[in-house]
Amino acid sequence: MTKRVAAIHDISCFGRCSMQVIWPVVSHFGHQVCPVPTALLSTHTGGYEGFTFLDLSEEMEKIAAHWKALGLGFDAIYSGFLGSERQIATVNSFIKDFSSEKTLVLVDPVMGDDGKIYKTYTNEMCKGMRILCAEADIITPNLTEAYILLDEEYEEQPDSVRQKELLDRLLMLSRKSKKAVILTGIRDQRQNTIGSVFAIMDGDKISYGSRFAPYCDCFFPGSGDLFASILLGKVLRGCAITEAVETAVRFISKASEYTKKLGTPPHYGLEFEGLMGEM
Ligand code: PXL
């Protein structure tokens, strides 16, 4: 049967990110996406002024209540950009109400980039994100988000010893016994590559890994959403996390190179649509 994914993200109508990336990508891997929109924006918040923002907190609660009455369940619950502090509790209840032992909970603790918190996020929302990470099987923070979660000052280039320390501490955020932390957007300046370092814990056994691909020196908003949706799409197909990370890292590198070559303004997002056959 088709796997069913509850996707709890905003809809930014222009500038590829969040639902506009997640929906096509997760569908590409053959899974059904059931959107739970957190907010409706004219564009994403990175690189645009004057964007509109409609908080959908009330609607989310109504959607969840109706789905609960229908007795729905999900193979995966995947949360990302939230629209208000109130939504932390909503998503937390959503996870409790709609997951079984088999449900994969992926929390992408979307909060910021490049050491900066997104314009619509408050400190309370950032603190609340830890509550959601406690329920997660997989979390996919970038470095900015990792430091916020651990309440530490941002460092742009943590060395490998420090990366491992971050992974170990991030693993402890989740109360699950089987879990993974996948740190994204890690630069290796010597090799001129970008990628991900990760830790997978099963009981008291932890395995570490990393995957890197060529860096094209251009940042595209929405890369994290593309990363997490490829990861989820592949893992739900039974793929190992290591292989899923490898595909995501390679694909984003390729899409970044391609988009840069086309000369698309970076805040329009990655031109991934024409490349999806290569995921
Ligand atoms: O890609 C993360 C993201 C999601 N949603 C909104 C954003 C961003 C990043 O800027 O602004 C609205």
Residue nearest ligand 1's atom 1 by CA: 222
Ligand 1 and 110: CB distance under 6 A: yes
Ligand 1 and 81: CB distance under 6 A: yes
Cα 208 to ligand 1 centre (Å) = 28
Residue nearest ligand 1's atom 7 by CA: 44
Enter the pTM of the model.
0.98
Ligand 1 and 246: CB distance under 6 A: no
Residue nearest ligand 1's atom 10 by CA: 46
Cα 175 to ligand 1 centre (Å) = 27
Ligand 1 and 37: CB distance under 6 A: no
Ligand 1 and 215: CB distance under 6 A: no
What is the pLDDT at residue 69? 98
> Contact 132/91 with Cβ under 8 angstroms?
yes
What is the pLDDT at residue 235? 98
C-alpha angle 59-141-36 in degrees, rounded to nearest 5: 15
Ligand 1 and 41: CB distance under 6 A: yes
State the Cα–Cα distance between residues 108 and 53, nearest whole angstrom: 21
Burial 199-232 (b: 16+ CB within 10 A, else e): bbbeeeebeeebbbbebbeeebbbbbbbbbbbbb
Cα 275 to ligand 1 centre (Å) = 22
How big is the chain by its Cα radius of gyration, in Å? 17
Residues 6+ apart with CB under 8 A from 52: 40, 41, 42
Pocket test for ligand 1, best of 8, 9, 10 (most atoms within 8 A of CB): 10
Q: Which atom of ligand 1 is nearest to the CA of 223?
A: 1
Residues 6+ apart with CB under 8 A from 57: 38, 83, 84, 86, 87, 90
First to last CA, the chain: 22
Residues 6+ apart with CB under 8 A from 5: 26, 31, 32, 33, 34, 74, 75, 76, 77, 78, 232, 236
What is the pLDDT at residue 271? 98
Cα 205 to ligand 1 centre (Å) = 34
Cα 227 to ligand 1 centre (Å) = 13
What is the pLDDT at residue 200? 98
Q: Which atom of ligand 1 is nearest to the CA of 225?
A: 1
Residue nearest ligand 1's atom 12 by CA: 44
State the Cα–Cα distance between residues 171 and 182, nearest whole angstrom: 10
CATH class of 4-278: alpha beta
pLDDT of the chain, 279 residues: tens digit per residue: 999 999 999 999 999 999 999 999 999 999 999 999 999 999 999 989 999 999 999 999 999 999 999 999 999 999 999 999 999 999 999 999 999 999 999 999 999 999 999 999 999 999 999 999 999 999 999 999 999 999 999 999 999 999 999 999 999 999 999 999 999 999 999 999 999 999 999 999 999 999 999 999 999 999 999 999 999 999 999 999 999 999 999 999 999 999 999 999 999 999 999 999 999
Q: Which atom of ligand 1 is nearest to the CA of 12?
A: 12
